[in-house]
Structure 1
Amino acid sequence: MKKLIITADDYGMSEGVNEAIDAGIDAGLITSTNVMTNMPFYKEAIKLKDRKNVSVGLHWVLACGKPILSADEIPTLVSPNGEFYSYPEFRKRLRKKLISFVDIKKELIAQYNLYYELMGQPDYWNTHQNTHVDFGIYQLFVDTAAELGINKMRSHQRIYVKRSDDTQKMPLKWRILEPVKSKMLDTWQNNAHKKGVSSPDGLIVCLNNSDINNLEYLFANISWKNKNVGEYVIHPASKNDSPYFGKIVEQRIKEYEMFTSSETLNIIINNDIKLVDYDMGDNS
């Protein structure tokens, strides 16, 4: 039997996000969530502290909202409006070497400290918008997490769901770059494992993005191969109540509806998939 972690990112971003994740946990579908301590509703996570069969992690943020530390303490991370630079701008500044690694680490530790004060040690870590998945800073995040004693993280290797429309081939650029990216992620992940960090075997990713809303197809067509534990990431919200939702407002609402539904749970069970948390053992 294959095992699946269903992770809802962004706990604390808004009331609607928290409400959707709470409902998904109550429905027995969401088995993992992660907390953005720089967001206004992060303290509501305290209700999850003693929940069984649910892992709660730290969702480090460097490109959304306001930092925990003042602009004077981490000047290379903060834009003139007092918030983090946008994700694209963060990437540009990183490549131009305008981002201080010292500033990054200070802010990561500040966010960790708020989490620890509220919840104790995180079950795992990852980053908002996968900010850490980049040359240079990936290792900084892994090392910082290891120093803080967080020994589990998300794997960014892929477990693909084949396209429902087999007549369309993936673009040539994707077919050339994907093996290179996969090899790079393998190397990074293996180095993290050498430091005692564990992770699921990979992320469930649909090759055809429109398949994400066809759960019956999705869960029946995961190409597990030699993988045993996958993670499927969602971003549900019960309402549009945050300026940080970006372009996926409708999808957030849709995921709230899908991942609070008993029909979804039945689909997963019928495909011989067991829901687990970051302990990667059976939930019961």
Structure 2
Amino acid sequence: MDDGLLRRLRVEQARALVRDADPRQAVMLACDLLVVGVGGDAVAALAAESTRTLSVHEANRHLAEVVAEVGLPEPDLPTAVELVTVDTCERILEGGIPVERGIHDLHLVGHDGSRLRDLLPAVAALVERLEGNLGGQADDDLRTDLAALARTVLDRRSAAAAGSAPAIGWADWTEEEYVRYLHEERRCFAWVMRRYGDLDADQAEAAALRRYPFEERDAPYRGLVFHDEAWHWAMVEIHGQGYWTSHPELVRPPAEYEALDGNAP
């Protein structure tokens, strides 16, 4: 199986795990697997189904049989969430799904265990604009902002895959990696509080220590230390929980903040 087909199979497997299989995508995938000679009876059975009449329940069942037949191991939940979210972002940018569906599908970033959970406020802001201000019909500005968010997700995934940040696979961090990124979060949070919260250096540092009070001996704590999270929590402290509605221009960090990413504290 080539990498492209393997990736598609992993995405559909993950989709069935965190939500439900997409019947159309599952059947099309099975057809492509059959063409290249991957799988056996389970793949053939799914490929024979109709994309118009296959139910979600039956798609889930067929896909589970295909995965078992091919011998693909089940991903952990954070990985499954990430696979589906990245696929959604790619389809948004390609125009493969309606903007309105794409916005709602990205709510998946808030799933328990998601490594992209810090992006949930940005998604919530888009949903609020779509449903609260636009009556469920996206305008050009919303399409532009959704595309920007999709690119942010893909950029983070690419950076993590390249090894520039361990945002993917945090459960396997060493103590040294964990402590390093904890201190980077403190540094980024303090920078935002100085720049946007009108605090002096000492006050900003104290605020960062309150927000991230973990010491090196507490390093077993895992999973909530991401660069973008520092921006989010600083905005909450300055403007309150609803900042993504009251100050939508602050949902995405500015370029000068993004330049901090990846620099050693």
Q: Give your verdict on TM over 0.5.
A: no
**TM-score, structure 2 as length reference:** 0.26
Q: Which has the higher helix share?
A: 2
Q: More strand per residue: 1 or 2?
A: 1
**Pair member with larger Rg:** 2
